[in-house]
Amino acid sequence: MLSPGTIKMAAGTEGKIRNAWQAREHTVAVLVDLKQAYDRVWRPGLLLKLQQYGVNGRMYNWLKGFLSARYIRTRVNGTYSKSQALRTGLPQGSALSCTLFLCFLNDLSDAIPTFNRLSFADDIALWQSDVDIDRATEALNADLVSLRHYCRRWKMTINAAKTVYAVFSNSREVLAKDLEVKLGDFPLERESLPRYLGLTLDPRLNLTAHVEQLVKKAQDRVSIMRKLAGTSWGSGTTSLRTLYVTFVRPVLEYANPILNLASRTSLEKLSKVQNSALRMVTSGLRSTPITALELATRCEPLCLRREQQTLAAKERYLRFEDHHPLKRMASTFGDVRRRIKKSSFLSTCAELEPRYNPPLNRAPLDGPEWPPDMAPSPIEVKLDLGVNGRKDDTPAQILKAAALECISAFPKEFARCYIDGSASGGVSDGGYGVFIEWGNNERLRESGPVGKSTCSYACERKALARCVQLLKQRNDKGELQGAVILCDCLGLVRKAGTFNPTGLGTIVRTVEDIRNTGTQVACQWIPSHVGIRGNEIADGLANEGRQAPQPEGEHCLADSIQCISTRMSEWWTAEAGINNDERFSRIYEASKTRADDLNALSRGEAIQVFRLRTEHSLLQCSMSKRGWCPMASCRLCGYATESTEHVLFFCPAMRESRSNEWRRQDRRAVLWGAKTAMAEAARLVRVFLQRATN
């Protein structure tokens, strides 16, 4: 998947070309290839530029030493060549080399201010747009002359053989015309499908060729997955799903916000690859609804994920500085008359915003909260309750007992601080609650609103911030002997204990101020809704805060993206119709908690149970509905319907295969219950099918 930086570059390129089309202009672009860009950096020139940027003193001397005394040698069959000193280039494999290379090219736009340019590391794109394509070509050739002079001055080499030009236009006449684009005396080749930042661009920006490449690459990876499992052997559903999410889906979502340019037919090809992969993960029959596959694997439709990532990208651009071109492009889209109605990145955002309703009060992007050498120590956090297994698999009574034991392990004089936050539907009318039991039996209860448009995580963060403020006030009076903050938001507790607590900088710094006075502060995760008195009180206070008048606060990027993601999930479940179909509802609930014992079955057993759950199995009652067999009657006893319930509980031909304990099973819960019950159901169906086909 493209990083936010490369998506930004790609979106900027697409926006510039489309704006030119709106003005009836054509675009000619050159994709520049620098020959051995990192290995050819002129070190004296780089050091000179660093001094011009204000890098002096110890930092300058350290960087000079970093670049000096670099040697290289070759090993062949265990034998080394003589060492040779490297007098140019940047050290390979160092993260600092990337930053130094950007410093070396930073003055490119200042030295040549006449052309349009986008660059990401050594990927440089130049273009000119004009109503007359010949005039645009002439201007671009002048820019290439300036670029050659710049490279010659700073001892860089342009690889003319790999530098190509491309034309973007809706005019057939312009696309058929040959242009003379030259780098010095060397004519550049025209590329009909150029690649920039991994995107294959076509003259009309339909991205058809790019989608075809993604489909082929993803299909090849799905073919590898097929080698890992069959219908009766191989990896389990959980492992296969993880492999799909990490190995295949990133290919299908490469440059997702930009894929809105592609046609619906092209995008459906991507969805078909996901459908094929999910069918392989679950081994569902071809008649199984795609919705059931998505719900069982917790994989949202690609179209919804594309919508979410598109709006998230725009939210990021709207938080840039006012002079940033992407900020101007995203802010002024609705003010420009759109002559061409073809879908684009920003037009898609305009269509989606009324449905997703992202927060309008946007806070600027947060920069680093402190230099690395001044970062405070993370908060001491404890995530383990000493209970084996997952929370969803553990009874509430055991979780409660384990949590109370962890709380009692802290000294009695420590303040017990219970915090909670929640929002209506996870996206609006947020509230926080803080309940503190001081060491002298004194109690403090506080609640308050968070904002009209907010997410539950932001409410939890607000509760933590307010709790830390109260602890600081108490500590300043010398009345705090220690404190443990008890929070049921696992993500927040985990983030507070890292060395990069994004969005929690003020909280972490305040806790460090308290600890510097010798007062210990810790944060303990506790499970929610298991009957812990303090947690229930904090939850009630948070609900009171939701009822209070809500302020119009600013929303950071992470909170806005969380709100969009929550609304995407709501839209997905609504489209899936889980409220109208009991099968889909139960499949969704089982996959959402991740406590489904289906994942603990063998491959063959899990496939049988999944097919029975969806009612798309090899039983004749299911196959007759789809026209796969003429009759629905039982093949062993002749009963009218060969259904799941008949085979598992009533078929007289299977009486000997059923145990006495099995006959006492709850018929409605047997496919959703314990592992042993599901395994037995799979065995009975397998035995039935073997007898029926013999």
Does residue 588 contact residue 569 with C-beta atoms inside 8 Å? no
What is the CATH code for 24-192? 3.30.70
Mean pLDDT of 18-28: 87
Burial zone of 23 (CB within 10 Å; 0-12 exposed, 13-18 middle, 19+ buried): exposed
Buried b (16+ CB within 10 A) or exposed e, 60-96: eeebeeebeebeeeeeeeeeeeeeeebebbbeeeeee
Evaluate if residue 391 carries a pLDDT over 80.
Answer: no
Q: Which two tokens stand for residue 569?
A: 């999930």
pLDDT at residue 404 is higher than 80: yes
pLDDT at residue number 591: 79
**Mean pLDDT calculated for residue range 389-402:** 79
Does position 274 have pLDDT exceeding 70, yes or no?
A: yes
pTM given for the model: 0.85
pLDDT at 1: 46
Confidence (pLDDT) at 339: 66
pLDDT digits (tens, 9 = 90+) for 200-251: 999 998 899 999 999 999 999 999 999 998 888 888 888 999 999 999 999 9
pLDDT at 389 over 70: no
589 band by pLDDT with thresholds 50, 70 and 90: confident
CA–CA separation, 221 and 239 (whole Å): 15
Segment (H or E) for 635: none
Element of type H or E holding 436: strand 428-437
Tell me the per-residue pLDDT of 354-383, one tens digit each, with 9 for 90 and over: 988 888 888 887 766 666 667 777 889 998
CATH no. of 380-553? 3.30.420.10
Tokens of 287: 């008649």
Residues 595-616 have a mean pLDDT of 88
What is the DSSP track for 359-397? -SSBPPPP--SS-GGGPPPPPEEE---S-SS-GGGS-HH
For the chain, where do the domains classified as CATH 3.30.420.10 start and end?
380-553
Average pLDDT of 573-593? 81
Residues in CB range of 288: below 8 A, 6 or more apart:
279, 282, 611, 614, 616
pLDDT at 521 over 60: yes
Say what the pLDDT of residue 335 is: 52
For the chain, where do the domains classified as CATH 3.30.70 start and end? 24-192
Kindly report the average pLDDT of the chain as a whole number.
88
Per-position DSSP letters for 257-319, written without gaps between them: GGGGGS-HHHHHHHHHHHHHHHHHHHT--TTS-HHHHHHHHT---HHHHHHHHHHHHHHHHTT
Mean pLDDT of 4-27: 79
Average pLDDT over residues 647-663: 89
Model confidence at 124: pLDDT above 70: yes
Round to whole Å and give the CA distance between 288 and 611.
8
Using DSSP's 3-state secondary structure scheme, residue 42 falls into coil
Q: What is the reported pLDDT for 199?
A: 87
- Antiparallel, parallel or unpaired: β 189-190 and 164-168: parallel
Query: What contacts 84, CB < 8 A, 6 or more positions away?
Result: 71, 72, 73
